[in-house]
Amino acid sequence: MKERDEARRERRLNQEESKYSVFSKLRDKKLTSIDDFSSKRGRYEDVQDAFAIGSLNVSSKSGITTYYIGYKHYCDFLESKEISPDSSFKKCFSSWSLRDFKEYLGEKIGEGVLATSTANTTLSSLRVTLEKLKTIRSYNFSYYPADGFEIVRESIAYKPYSPYERKQIHEMLEQEMVLVKEKLVPYQKLDRKQADFDDPKIQARIIFEDHCNCIPIYR
């Protein structure tokens, strides 16, 4: 059983290495006009071409891998938008691509699938790729910019309230609502037949009723 698992893992690694090798070789491809895009219609072939050319500003394997990973995430994003894998580059890239992709990555951060730093790097790979698309002849392309994600220290990052804390907050809000409702009760005029007119508070109420018409004065 263990040997079979290791064999499967080895095959997956070999397949991934093969895909990376194909991506890396595409860096040598010319992409200066719309005619240079792939004539194949495999799984987002044009997207792979674009990201490969976008990676030309880096030379290290780790740098190229960043664009390869960015390409894979972008393919997943396109699938989530129900854009067919055999679509041309014109359907895969639009002026809203960067902002829509950022929203997609933000959801992955929220789900705990991606770290914020990884999402920023992935978003940056698309940003550079889109800049490359702007240089292609006969393709009047532009896109709306989008900033990266703010990296928040774990110590100040949002943490959900515990059940006990939520209960305390609920009880506090209930108490506040009772006080608010009490203040909303209409003013009841003084019963002067039973009032103690020597009481300063009673005297104040008489002034309030007779001279202010029971209307509060605010400053």
User: Which of these three, 133, 150, 178, is where a domain ends?
Assistant: 133
Find the helix or strand (DSSP H, E) in which 105 lies: helix 97-110
Ramachandran assignment for 159, one of left (phi > 0), alpha (psi -120 to 50 degrees), beta (any other): beta
Residue 219 lies in a domain: no
pLDDT in tens, 145-161: 999 998 766 555 556 67
Residue 155 lies in a domain: no
Residues 12 and 98 in one domain: yes
Residue 149 lies in a domain: no
pLDDT in tens, 88-139: 888 999 999 999 999 999 999 988 899 999 999 999 999 999 999 999 888 8
Residue 126 lies in a domain: yes
Residues 87 and 191 in one domain: no
Find the distance separating the first CA and the last CA of the chain, reported in whole Å.
Answer: 82
Q: How many domains does the chain have?
A: 2
Residue 171 domain boundaries: 163-211
Its pTM surpasses 0.85: no
